[in-house]
Structure 1
Amino acid sequence: MSANMIDLLLKSLGETCYMVLIAIVLATLIGLPLGVILTVTRKDHIMPNSVVHNVLGAIVNATRSTPFIILMVAIIPFTRMIVGSSIGTTAAIVPLTITAAPFIARVIESSLLEVDRGVIEAAQSMGASPVQIISKVMLPESLHSIVLGITLALIALIGASAMAGALGGGGLGDLAIRYGYQRFQMDVMIATVIVLIVMVQGVQTVGNALSRKLNKNKLS
């Protein structure tokens, strides 16, 4: 592989990291409150509200069920309105965020539902408000599980960012398509796949280690 191609690979890696990291932060900021609301508004939880729960759940499910490549095309006008363009690395952050947020919301919901109801009832009996129960009981108790869920979302975003390259999103996917596929440069394709595998393995390893540490701290 030539020095020029290595430079392109590093540039594409930087674009992928930029897309994925910004998207996972934004998606978590959106998905966290959505997941909390989905949990506490269940009929048997601390703030039951079937209307809010069912409507929000339907929106989350509809977004999650839309394939990323279709979602990316469908929201082009929205993307253009937000960032001024529908092509490029920054533009790809919008659909990446939208596709990850509902996934994270369900991850948060699942993690919060694992919290022992006895702990929640004990907090209620001591007069804790719903906000206090959420912030001081539910989230701390489920933090290690939430970290694992966000790790899965981050890995999914790495894959989605590669698909974004098919529509001019930049990053490693764009490099693999333009050089590895269209120009039949198999060394570029192989290098791109290896980099993606290393990225996923690294993210999973760090996520597992952080989750274990949080779980040990909770138990100690």
Structure 2
Amino acid sequence: MRVLVVEDDPGLGPTIAAGLRSAGFAADRAESLEEADLKVSVNAYDCVVADRGLPDGDALDLIRRWRGAGRPVPVLVLTAFGTVEDRVSGFEHGADDYLVKPFAMAELVVRVRALCRRERPPRLPELAVGDVTLDLPSRRVRRAGVLLTLTAKEFAVLEALMSRAGEVLTRSELIESCWDEMSDPMSNVVDVVVGQLRRKLGPPDLIDSVRGVGYRIGGPSGR
């Protein structure tokens, strides 16, 4: 899941992005309304986390323009403006959630994850391919009942593959879904993570390589 953090504070912006990455999100950053508007126009974000007070205006005005233009990307407004009137104004402008500073990173992560899933087709809380199960609420993966320890990126790639079991996901699709703008699309990051996943999942191999295209789980060899 890919998130845009719109925050101009030089300390808080990187901290929020780092916290989201630690929770398994791909997180990009913008420091102004103009930069945020450009990035949302060219990237498919699952959620935007936006401070209100930015150098070139109030994020609520940008949210209102997005809604008027038919852009449905969920937005969580993160701000020090915490009165009832402020929160009501945020929702009236098209915000989907509102979190007042100071905040706990754990709460932000839970709220962002809920907003990301709101825009996706309803899914069962558990995905299964063969003897591999992926529990989304607890973020636990088991093979033949044995609990596996995966990194946040390995979990994200496995979730992407298992949510579309039987389909081939290109490297570009996996990068778009699981990495942020700091990743080089020409690098071998996808191949490295898939290799790590294969070692941790163990034999028999469930992940098929489709030469020149990408990867699939639950295909001819991954039942």
Larger proportion of strand: 2
Name the structure with the higher helix share.
1
Greater relative contact order (Cα < 8 A, sep 6+): 1
Structure with greater Cα Rg? 1
Give the TM-score taking structure 2 as reference length. Answer: 0.25
